[in-house]
Chains A and B, each alone.
Chain A
Amino acid sequence: MRLRNLELSNFRGFPAANATIDLDHDAVLLYGRNGVGKTAIFDAFELALTGSLRRVASVPDIASVLVNARHDSEPATLRLEIGDQTGHSETKSTIRLGQTLSVKPLLGLSEIPTFLHTAYLQQSDIRRLISADSATLGEVVRSLAVSGEIERLDRALAEANLTRLNPVYRGVAKAFEDKQATAEQLKRQIEADERAISDIEGVEATLSRAAETVHNVETSLDVTPSGAHANAEEILKAITALDGILQSRLTEAISRRSQSESRLKRAEQLLQQQRALEIEQAQAVGSGRADQSRREVSAVEQEIQGYLTEMAQPAFAATSKQQQSRMIALLEAARAFSAAGACPICDRPFPDLVSHIDAKVAQLQREQSRLQSEYFQLQRRLTAAEEKSQQLKSAVEKSERASKDLAARVLNHERQWHELSSAYPERPKSISEIAYMEKSLFETAVEDTAVMSSFATQLSVARSEISSASIRSAQIKKNLANSRDKLRSILSDLDSAKKSRQMLEEYVNTAQDVRKRTSEGIEKILQSFAMGPTRENFEDLFSRLAREPHFKVTISQARVLRRKPEVHWCATYGTKQYPGEAIFSQGELNCCAMAFFLALATTNPQSLGFLLLDDPVQNMDEMHIEEFGSILKFIKDQLGWQLIVALHDESIYQYLKRQLYPCQGRQSLAAYTLEMGDSGTEINQDVVAHFDRHAFLPSEVA
């Protein structure tokens, strides 16, 4: 492939008028000072060939840096024509401010990495290659050596994570294993259930115990034997029948017990009542209390009558009062006479009289007091007699009422006894006899109730045991059936899932194999590429560029580490190895960068057949430049590649003009100088030379 023609208009620093560069030569040299637009020409090449610009990839509006700032209202245009022996093609693009950059690239997708890494050496690439670490070189080599499909597959496989560590895969695998575990568990469960059923069905003891219980109860209840033997259903049936009988017997016993209890209570009450009546009658008859009371009442009434009579005697009261009054009057008279000193009646001397009167008065007073005392005493007796009379009357009335009451109760008691005793076929002789009978009956009923309850309990236990065994057996059988159904379903699903999983496993295995193969393949390709011809060319080119006999450089290792390609290079001195970047000067590192770039370019079988070098000789002394020119000449002559080289140093430009001078048939050289004019970059043709044998000393004279 050869670049033929480039037309630029309003592109970067170029004026609006078309600037054309005829590139259809074996070597094209561009000379210009810094900032005149050499790199802009290379930008145009890159843009036209790849459709994009690495250098300004981070700029959001690329058009703004590509359109000439002096005439930014006008669009920038570029046209590049390329061709080879089979034909030619061109791309033309118009770039406007504010519009998305859209350039149809002349190179195919697979050619772009080749162009970027082996055909176009821009200044930033030199810096990158100088400081290239193993990873950067590895990436470059990979992009050159490994086909797009392999690389795409490798990256996609790594990103897709088609391994057994994939979370989704793990989830499904776990579900599958869980399902298998469930099936195993079900199998175990079924086996356990089968064993359990066998155990339950084999236990005869429970049934025979229950049958014996039934038989005992039947015998005790005097019921016709059901003949149930060790058959759960028959035993349960017999138990149910016995339950009915027991229930009725129990009801009857309870009823009897209740009746006996009631009658017994009544008899006991009557007996108690009878005893009380008897005591009361005995007391009433024994003491004759009513008659006595009547007699006492008569005596007291008589006494009262006597008192009343006595007190009613007029003399008793009047005499006393009169006597008293008279005596007192007399005594008062006597006292009146006392002044005379003698008694008017007896003439006794007064002193005697007075004492006499006083004695009499005292006597009278004592008499009066006595009488009064007697009177009062009589009155008290009377009152007491009257009170006693009242009490006795009351007692008489009470006694009479008690007698009537007793009589009524006796009658009532007799009626009750009559009623109670009439209930028995053989009339009992006494209430005690009834009580005795009823007590006996009650105890019997209680005993019967207890026996029935005991039977009921035994039957209940038997039923419970049988039922429990039956229920458990039924339940296990049901569970067993369910488990078998479930297991069948799970096994069926597992079969289906196994088939799907087998496909899945195959896919994952294949993906892993492919990934392993691609990784290994990439490493192999890298090693084959980097450790083979590239290393040879690299060593050879470096030894030419830096003619130091003691130092060598080499590519020491190419590998893929954690999916990252790495290409290590180092300097060797004898058998010792050193990191190249650590011991080389900047010029030597520049030589390394050149050697590496040219080694990649010359060993890449997909080479594009041209080299674009933007100011390649930096930090290199004249000897290196001489050798670099020599190498370029070899590339031009031997490989027939087109060289387009931009330089900003005039002496180097002049030297390369001589070195790259056409020295073989049909070779040509064009050299242009770039200058900054009033309207922008101006391109001036310096030299256009074609091969001419006469331009050289004759070499035939040997």
Chain B
Amino acid sequence: MNDRPFVQSEVLAFLRERCQMRTVEFEPEMGFHFDALLAAPDLLNVIVVENQTAPTLKSLKEICRKIQSFAWSIYAQQKHNLVTLILVLSRIPSARDLRRALDALNGTARVFLVTHSMTRDQVRAALKPLAAPAFTMSQKETVGFDQIQTLLNGIRASEILEMTRSSVSDAELKAKLLGRLEELLSEVNHALKKS
């Protein structure tokens, strides 16, 4: 199943489920129609989905024109929305045609390409930026922040632990560690030198 290419409905399902987007309809009087129009949960982003079974330069230009019109319409309404275009293509157009289309949309909309040749994982990876990142934050318990006592658990290091806690710098701690060592060494030395 994973190797089967996405179809538009599945892309929409992915956007709804994974990106919490909702299908909306804006201004039918704009004079053109998108295959799908979705709104992101943050109000700011609007996602246009266009499906092209036989993409040509002409059809790509037509899509670009619609997006530009849509963006202009948003601007004219003094709205701050940003437009994102997802192009679902049956095949990859020529690099030149694609470049020209992307250049035309530069500054107007973010563009995501989904082709039928892509695996489902690749599609998911391609559309992943539309979903909010997880921002997995490290847990204090797992990375050992401020856990010197836990770190030294099982070692009778109370003396060293106390030295560490009562020192504010490396140099002070080093001096204390060495001082204790010298103290013990001098005790041994003293005992040895008595005779």
Contact = CB atoms under 8 A, between A and B. Distances in A.
**B is bound to A:** yes
Interface of A: 145-147, 149-150, 152-153, 155-157, 159-160, 162, 166, 168-169, 172, 175-176, 179, 486, 489-490, 492-494, 496-497, 499-501, 503-504, 506-508, 510-511, 513-514, 517-518, 521, 524-525, 528-529, 532-534, 536-537, 540-541, 543-544, 547, 549, 602-607, 622-623, 626-627, 630-631, 633-635, 637-639, 651, 655, 658-659, 661, 663-664, 693, 695-702
Contacts of B165: 149
Interface string B137-160: 111101111111001100111011
Contact of B79 (A156, A543, A605, A695): A695
22 contacts: A145-B138, A147-B145, A160-B181, A169-B185, A179-B195, A486-B195, A503-B187, A507-B180, A511-B181, A521-B151, A528-B142, A540-B134, A547-B129, A602-B136, A604-B138, A634-B132, A695-B80, A696-B43, A699-B39, A699-B43, A701-B24, A701-B26
Contacts of B146: 147, 149
Given A159-B170, A540-B134, 13 more contacts: A145-B143, A152-B173, A172-B192, A490-B195, A514-B160, A544-B133, A549-B118, A603-B138, A605-B143, A627-B129, A638-B133, A659-B44, A659-B82
A537 B133 contact: yes
Interface string B155-195: 11101100011010110011001101110110111111011
Contact of A697 (B46, B126, B137, B147): B46
A513 B153 CA distance: 11
Contacts of B29: none
Contacts of B35: none
A510 B156 contact: yes
A661 B80 contact: yes
B188 A533 contact: no
A651 B108 CA distance: 12
B52 interface: no
A375 to B, nearest CB: 130
Contacts of A494: 191-192
Contacts of A166: 181
B185 to A, nearest CB: 5
Interface string B36-49: 00010011101000
A384 B34 CA distance: 198
B44 A156 contact: no
B94 interface: no
Interface string B104-123: 00110010100000100010
B192 A544 contact: no
B25 A532 contact: no
Contacts of B170: 152, 155-156, 159
B117 to A, nearest CB: 12
Interface in B66-85: 74, 77-82
Given A493-B195, A697-B81, A637 B177 contact: no
Contacts of B18: none
Interface of B: 22-26, 39, 42-44, 46, 74, 77-82, 106-107, 110, 112, 118, 122, 125-126, 128-129, 132-140, 142-148, 151-152, 155-157, 159-160, 164-165, 167, 169-170, 173-174, 177-178, 180-182, 184-185, 187-192, 194-195
A622 B111 CA distance: 12
A532 B185 contact: no
A662 B147 CA distance: 39
Nearest to A492: B195
B125 A658 contact: no
Nearest to A699: B39
Contacts of A537: 133-136
B184 A503 contact: yes
Given A638-B132, A663-B43, A695-B79, A168 B181 contact: yes
Contacts of B24: 697-702
Nearest to B78: A695
Contacts of A549: 118, 122, 125-126
B184 A500 contact: yes
Contacts of B129: 543-544, 547, 627, 630
A146 B195 CA distance: 48
B166 to A, nearest CB: 11
A634 B63 CA distance: 28
A168 B186 CA distance: 10
B164 A149 contact: yes
